[in-house]
Structure 1
């Protein structure tokens, strides 16, 4: 059975879920999620012979939420992964991430390839450092209403998302997009709350997530977005550097993120990830891939792990 405990690194205390023995596999969640989003992966990977650890990342769930936007840069997030690997008594890990967790995983493999046996990104592919700051690029491509731009305003998104946390998560995780022009503004405006939850998300699952965000709030996770331009500045030294560890990219075919990043990545994957072992498209899956289609994701992960 998975065990829950805490690990102190880099001045914060991480809440982690751990199961199994063998080569270390880290599972990094996205926004707005916690380590609970890996509930369908932890036991199968552990039973296959791996030591599986899923942390609540900085600012989420049972992990500390440091004050100050500048405590959530990509260097802090990568540092947490490296610190966790070492605190667990290991020298290397396979780092698997979904959504924002994928960005942390890719950047860990880029910045500290010595500690990464392999890297898997789910939903978000590796994103090369662009020629201009990300927020300028986002405004030009998507406009001022783009959610990442909206998240830059301190306290605004927090107020919207925290007003009714269960309703927020119901809309974000299971809601459907309204027709263009319908709905109010903000982040939640375009989402219609579902009448019935999809089969992959139970009321108990939703209550678990809601309880976690009722404790942590949303500021920590939102601060990750508020560092996008700062991250661009901090990673100048890695401009055009390839991600060299063995890698895998998994994408849900109905994932909205796929339309933003997926085609650009496939244009020149060899330049970005020269050791790419495969691209796995998961049919009938949206953005919450490892929760929606766990059997397919688990098979892809185990196939990749067995080849390392």
Structure 2
């Protein structure tokens, strides 16, 4: 399977060797945790575009103070950096800073489609969410699927990272049975120390996967070693090869061990090659 990757604006702006890390056409998702000034965010997207990558900025609904701020943000990303894709998410804060409580609120404004954003990613939650029931999550995904189809917009689901392949497989099959047929890009942690993953998993609320990871770590010595994603990605690739209806089409990698280490792993396993355009090949 092909792969996209996550990066912070700071990593994009400060990594001198960025041009050599990914194949051209790789989707690079720009995280938004509310601390990056908009000019820096736009500059990071511009640098990705100049290097031949596809910038996919996060649009965090609950962090937006107004519809005008959303329109300005998306217009600058489009006009100054040539961005035409976005990942629209809730935003991970308890109290909205403006009128948007969910990604659906952002989509309903019509701002993204009016400004020419034709490919939009939305969040998937294989482990559920503390803020919303599983049924409500499935209903929301079905609404987004219909919204995109009505407007001729290509939509995909991008999930949080996890460690349990069978959980991903069951979740994807459950969605398909409920009528959701959007392609899924599964969140995967790149190689990293297990102690690092434990920290990020706790911060990101992937408790079930964290428990799964801990059960596989038989001792404190194991916890100090490096985690290999192969135990997750290989079963998913086998399932995709055996089941043509499987919704998982691609990996989305979180480089907790660093961009270079993650890039080396993806190249070594053949996911990325210099000739391929991995992330754009499958929506």
TM-score between both structures, scaled by the size of structure 2: 0.36
**Bigger RCO of structures 1 and 2 (CA < 8 A, at least 6 apart):** 2
